[in-house]
Chain A
Amino acid sequence: SAVISQKPSRDICQRGTSLTIQCQVDSQVTMMFWYRQQPGQSLTLIATANQGSEATYESGFVIDKFPISRPNLTFSTLTVSNMSPEDSSIYLCSVEKGSGNTIYFGEGSWLTVV
């Protein structure tokens, strides 16, 4: 498995502001992913972050709203820009580790936008 730490774990944010979530992994990984889980809903992939290249965004998510950095093989950040109440969600960092496609999740960042 992998130890994946996220900061902040929780935050209450003002409408119109931006927040950057950090994800730190205890070992080098090639692929890191960011998911969103809206209240009472399932998980949706926002983007895939590979070191040394731009993130690849899924349909419905754009770089201007969710800029991502991946400066090295153990760290990534996701920024939620110009937040609105609809952005209130759990944001989860995940990595592929071990054999095949095994995906592990970080502890999550619970964001509430007021």
Chain B
Amino acid sequence: GENVEQHPSTLSVQEGDSAVIKCTYSDSASNYFPWYKQELGKRPQLIIDIRSNVGEKKDQRIAVTLNKTAKHFSLHITETQPEDSAVYFCAASTSYKLIFGSGTRLLVRP
């Protein structure tokens, strides 16, 4: 079955710097790759997603890139702000079943 690996497990950046989180997946049939942000004590919130027919997608300070050949995808956050501090999860899906990465705890230092 699908396996998703996520790195790094923790990431600390200075406010205003960029943050990059990387994920790899094993099942070449996976075609949907969402990213979720989970703040302490709250549910995961979808922040951006990408499908296999697209290589890159942007939404303001957030972007996701997908390399199907290498089977990896990345989340890029530019101009980080303290409110970006949270745990971020990547996931991969072949239909509707999401397989999640292990999560990245992002800390943005003021």
- 25 cross-chain CB contacts under 8 A: A31-B96, A33-B97, A33-B98, A41-B103, A42-B89, A42-B100, A42-B101, A42-B103, A43-B89, A43-B98, A48-B96, A101-B32, A101-B95, A101-B96, A101-B98, A102-B34, A102-B46, A102-B49, A103-B46, A103-B98, A104-B46, A105-B36, A105-B44, A107-B43, A108-B42
Q: Residue B93 at the A interface, CB < 8 A?
A: yes
Contact A96-B43, Cβ < 8 Å, known A42-B102, A102-B49: no
Chain A interface mostly? strand
Most buried by B among A41, A43, A102: A43
Most buried by B among A31, A96, A105: A105
Residues of A within 8 A of B42 (CB): 108
B88 to chain A, nearest CB (A): 11
Interchain CB contact under 8 A, A44 and B100: yes
Interface residues of B (CB under 8 A from A): 31-32, 34, 36, 42-46, 49, 51, 89, 93, 95-103
Q: Name the residue of chain B whose CB is nearest to the CB of A103.
A: B98
When distances are taken between beta carbons in the complex, the residues of chain A under 8 Å from B103 are 41-42
CB distance from B89 to the nearest CB of A (A): 6
Chain A residues closer than 8 Å to B32, beta-carbon distance: 100-101
CA distance A100 to B32 in the complex (A): 8
User: Residues of A within 8 Å of B, CB-based: how many?
Assistant: 19
Contacts of B98 in A (CB 8 A): 33, 43, 45, 101, 103
Q: How far is the CB of B3 from chain A (nearest CB, A)?
A: 12
A96 to B46 CA separation, bound complex (whole angstroms): 12
Please report which residues of chain A, range 82-114, place their CB below 8 angstroms from some CB of chain B when the two chains form the complex.
92, 96, 100-108
| Set of chain B residues within 8 Å of A100, measured between Cβ atoms | 32, 51
Distance of A41 Cα from B31 Cα, bound (Å)? 24
In the complex, A104→B103 CA distance in Å? Answer: 17
Q: Judging by beta carbons under 8 Å apart, are B96 and A92 in contact?
A: no
Q: Are B51 and A92 in contact (CB under 8 A)?
A: no
Residues of A within 8 A of B34 (CB): 102-103
